[in-house]
């Protein structure tokens, strides 16, 4: 057995190798962001002095560094809040309920507001006196200084822009990272040779390609905020903001006694300035978000090798990543495992060879972690098919704890036919006498004997009947009101979407686990296919029956669940499609295709040996059927 070190020695947390890789990507993304900041700084300088533009310690260089701080603020926000996979909720209203009123939403607004404020201050500080953006404006020689409202108006628009960008950020879920969900290769391609790593396009090419669409979207948002923000400012809080602004400023400098803002004329030139600068700021924000997405979603490789290759115990470190509690490092670990099993034969062979690991052989631990993801998918499908379903571990009946004698009995037990009851205190005041009398009357009329009388039973039944009618009426009113809401234009956010329900069950919640599921399936498939030629010890075949059974059950459950789904009358988007396409959910089809390709490869590799592995003819027949069927909307057809 060829290993770099005794198994278990040198095993380190997976994040020790993932974090430096992410930091290096962040630095690479920051370089291009600084270039964009430099371009913005040159634009703001109007190219008035060509020599100063190229001096790193000149005004343009200083402004570039200052403009990078707003960009760095958004980078820090993304680092703190990024997650793998898209949000999964049943309705749009549930998305709003879960993700709007939370701490991360407030932090997003604070970070964007700080970024917009600093960008505005850098712009204002770099303007000349002729542009009239100073804190005060000069009046006549004998008059005191007047407070200038123009920079206040500009700051209001930039803060409004931050609020708008926060809404865009939350609506489009900028915090999510799309990690590729790898698919097993075809059987003949898988056994022919190891394929090179399929890399995506270089991030810089993606950024350059997206620069024009980002510029157009930025200009649109800046124009919208200019119109909406100006209307809100002049119609709404203008005088209130000015009052606080004036009262605060008069404590710093001596101002004229007027506390009312002037007319609209001084603000006209600011409209074009804000449109341009607002567009540049939104472009900077969009560039930062796109650069972060592009670089963080790069393959978990370092120098064209898996990032755990530098560890003294590479597979042990990888196993630590597979069992991580947080989804981000766990998703990266499964992605690295899928890449290792597909494109790195030397590393793949060590998975078969390491038998003396502490808990179980390396291949067994990796197989268990991968199968756990598929079994979790099956559990979700069981719940989707039968909401009353309970997993075996959760449905186990807890045995009552045995009684414990804490102390020996020191007195005789109380007799069963007698009760020890403390006498109530005697009434002393007039109100206490009145309370005692009324309570006695109530007890006398509610005694068990009275309920035996016919009129008592009739009254009780009549009261129960009225209560039931009241409950039914309340439910009917609530149902009618909810139906009217769904039929109204506002019902779009409460509608029951079939694709949302299907993705919630198949892909998991609160975030999609499609990359975890497909990468786990791909890793299992590759390990099973290559074990025939690379497993020198010959132990991996023991896991093949479990892989086949799990894949077969998962495919069967997906087909049964999708067939059982019914389109709700409020799901107008799905009802607008042709009937044959209503149950086509691309993400669900992607998971099913991954399972089917994996099952086909495993069956083609072990077809001759399945009987000797303990699988019955019925199991083999079901597996072949699941691997060969092709799904059409709403039903299953043998292919």
Q: Which of residues 1 and 328 earns the better pLDDT score? A: 328
CA distances to 90, 258, 469, 475, 487 from 480, in Å:
21, 58, 16, 8, 11
Kindly state the average pLDDT of the residues 338-346.
93
Q: What's the mean pLDDT in 538-543?
A: 91
pLDDT of residue 465: 56
Decide the pairing of beta strands 146-147 and 176-177: unpaired
Averaged pLDDT, 556-574 = 87
User: What does the mean pLDDT of the chain come to?
Assistant: 80
Percent of the chain with pLDDT over 70: 72
| Mean pLDDT of the region 321-344 | 94
Band of pLDDT at residue 417, cut at 50, 70 and 90: very low
pLDDT of 534 strictly over 70? yes
Q: Has residue 140 got a pLDDT over 80?
A: no
Instruction: Give the Cα separation of 128 and 132 in Å (integer).
Output: 8
Q: What is the pTM of this model?
A: 0.80
> 186: pLDDT confidence band, cut at 50, 70 and 90?
confident
Bridge partners of 631, per DSSP, are 636
Mean pLDDT of 371-391: 88
pLDDT band at 149; cut points 50, 70, 90: confident
The pLDDT assigned to 172 comes to: 93
Predicted confidence (pLDDT) at residue 631 exceeds the cutoff of 50: no
The confidence band for 151, taking pLDDT boundaries of 50, 70 and 90, is: confident
| Mean local confidence (pLDDT), 512-537 | 94
- Does the pLDDT value for residue 463 go beyond 80? no
| Residue labelled with tokens 């078969």 | 352
Give residue-wise pLDDT tens across range 438-462.
Answer: 455 445 444 444 444 554 455 545 5
pLDDT value of residue 29 = 92
Q: Which pLDDT value is given to residue 405?
A: 42
Residue 511's pLDDT band (boundaries 50, 70, 90)?
very high
What is the rounded average pLDDT of the residues 374-390? 88
C-alpha distances in Å from residue 307, one per residue of 21, 298, 301, 340, 486: 8, 12, 5, 11, 51
Residues whose CB falls within 8 Å of the CB of residue 617, separated by 6 or more in sequence, listed in order: 611
| pLDDT per position as a tens digit, 113-122 | 999 999 999 9
pLDDT at residue 447, rounded to an integer:
45
Please determine, for residue 70, whether its predicted confidence score (pLDDT) is greater than 70.
yes
Query: What is the residue whose two structure tokens read 């087909």?
Result: 559
Q: Report pLDDT for 402.
A: 43
Whether residue 231 has pLDDT greater than 80: yes
Cα separation, 598 vs 186, whole angstroms: 9
Q: Which residue has the higher pLDDT, 203 or 199?
A: 203
Q: Which of 55-59, 416-420, 453-457, 619-623 has the highest mean pLDDT?
A: 619-623
pLDDT band, very low/low/confident/very high, at 414 (cuts 50, 70, 90): very low
Joined tokens for residue 53: 């533009």
- In this predicted structure, the answer to whether residue 233 has a pLDDT above a threshold of 70 is yes
Q: What is the mean pLDDT of residues 220-246?
A: 86
Confidence at residue 46, expressed as pLDDT on a 0 to 100 scale:
62
What pLDDT does residue 577 have? Answer: 84
CA gap 15, 318 in Å, rounded: 10
Tokens of 365: 């631990």
pLDDT at 635 over 70: no
Residue 2 has pLDDT above 50, yes or no: no
For residue 429, give both structure tokens: 């005041």
Q: Which residue has the tokens 């719940």?
A: 383
Across 283-308, average pLDDT: 94
C-alpha pair distances (Å), 121 with each of 48, 99, 274, 488: 21, 31, 13, 45
- Which residue did the predictor score with more confidence, 110 or 55? 110
The predicted pLDDT at position 492 comes to 64
CB-based contact 173:86 (threshold 8 Å): yes
What pLDDT sits at residue 632? 40
pLDDT band at 138 (very low <50, low <70, confident <90, very high): low
Is the model's pLDDT at 316 over the cut of 90?
yes
pLDDT tens digits, one per residue of 580-609 = 888 899 999 999 999 999 999 999 999 888
C-alpha distances out from residue 407 to 13, 400, 404, 410, 411, Å: 50, 21, 9, 9, 12
Confidence of residue 127 (pLDDT cuts 50, 70, 90): confident
pLDDT band at 270 (very low <50, low <70, confident <90, very high): confident
């Amino acid at each position: 057995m060829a290993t770099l070190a005794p198994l278990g020695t040198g095993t380190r947390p997976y994040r020790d190798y993932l974090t430096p890789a992410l930091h290096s990507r962040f630095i690479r993304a920051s370089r291009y962001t600084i270039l964009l900041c430099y371009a913005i700084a040159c634009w703001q300088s109007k190219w008035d002095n060509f020599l100063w533009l190229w001096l790193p310690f000149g005004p343009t260089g200083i402004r570039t560094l200052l403009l990078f701080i707003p960009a760095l603020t958004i980078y820090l926000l993304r680092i703190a809040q990024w997650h793998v996979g898209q949000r999964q909720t049943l309705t749009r209203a549930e998305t709003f309920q879960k993700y709007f009123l939370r701490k991360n939403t407030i932090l997003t607004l604070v970070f964007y507001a700080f970024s917009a404020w600093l960008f505005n201050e850098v712009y204002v500080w770099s303007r000349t006196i002729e542009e009239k953006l100073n804190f005060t404006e000069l009046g006549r020689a004998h008059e005191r200084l007047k407070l200038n409202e123009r920079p206040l108006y500009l700051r209001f628009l930039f803060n409004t822009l931050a609020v708008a960008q926060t809404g865009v950020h939350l609506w489009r879920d900028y915090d999510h990272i799309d990690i590729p969900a790898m698919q097993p290769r075809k059987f003949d391609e898988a056994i022919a040779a190891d394929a090179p790593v399929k890399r995506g396009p270089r991030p810089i090419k993606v950024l350059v390609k997206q620069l024009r669409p980002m510029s157009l979207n930025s200009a649109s948002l800046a124009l919208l905020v200019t119109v909406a923000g100006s209307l809100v400012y002049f119609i709404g809080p203008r005088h209130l903001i000015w009052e606080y602004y004036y009262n605060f400023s008069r404590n710093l400098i001596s101002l004229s006694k007027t506390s009312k803002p002037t007319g609209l004329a001084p603000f006209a030139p600011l409209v074009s300035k804000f449109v341009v600068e607002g567009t540049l700021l939104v472009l900077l924000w969009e560039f930062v978000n796109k650069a972060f997405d592009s670089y963080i979603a790069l393959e978990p490789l370092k120098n064209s090798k898996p990032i755990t290759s530098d560890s003294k115990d590479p597979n042990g470190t990888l196993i630590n990543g597979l069992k991580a509690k947080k989804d981000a490092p766990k998703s990266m670990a499964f992605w690295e495992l899928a890449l290792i099993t597909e494109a790195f034969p030397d590393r793949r062979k060590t998975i078969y060879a390491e038998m003396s690991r502490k808990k179980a052989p390396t291949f067994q631990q990796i197989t268990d972690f991968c199968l756990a993801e598929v079994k979790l998918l099956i559990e979700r499908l069981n719940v989707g098919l039968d909401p009353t379903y309970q997993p075996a571990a959760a449905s186990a009946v807890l045995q009552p704890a045995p009684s414990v004698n804490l102390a020996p009995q020191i007195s005789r037990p109380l007799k069963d036919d007698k009760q020890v009851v403390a006498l109530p205190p005697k009434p002393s005041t007039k109100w206490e006498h009145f309370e005692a009398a009324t309570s006695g009357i109530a007890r006398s009329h509610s005694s068990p004997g009275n309920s035996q009388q016919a009129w008592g039973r009739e009254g009780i039944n009549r009261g129960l009947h009225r209560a039931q009618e009241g409950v039914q009426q309340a439910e009917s009113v609530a149902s009618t009101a909810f139906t009217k809401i769904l039929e109204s234009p506002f019902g779009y956010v409460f509608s029951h979407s079939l694709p949302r329900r299907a993705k919630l069950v198949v892909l998991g919640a609160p975030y999609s686990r499609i990359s975890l599921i497909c990468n786990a399936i791909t890793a299992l498939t590759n390990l099973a296919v290559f074990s025939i030629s690379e497993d020198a010890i010959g132990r991996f075949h023991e896991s093949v029956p479990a892989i086949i059974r799990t894949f077969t059950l998962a495919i069967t459950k997906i087909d049964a669940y999708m067939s059982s789904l019914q389109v709700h009358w409020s799901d107008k988007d799905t009802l607008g499609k042709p009937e044959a396409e209503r149950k086509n959910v691309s993400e669900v089809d992607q998971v099913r295709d991954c399972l089917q390709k994996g099952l086909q490869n495993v069956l083609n590799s072990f077809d001759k040996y399945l009987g000797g592995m303990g699988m019955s003819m019925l199991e083999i027949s079901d597996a072949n059927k699941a691997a060969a069927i092709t799904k059409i909307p709403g039903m299953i057809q043998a292919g």
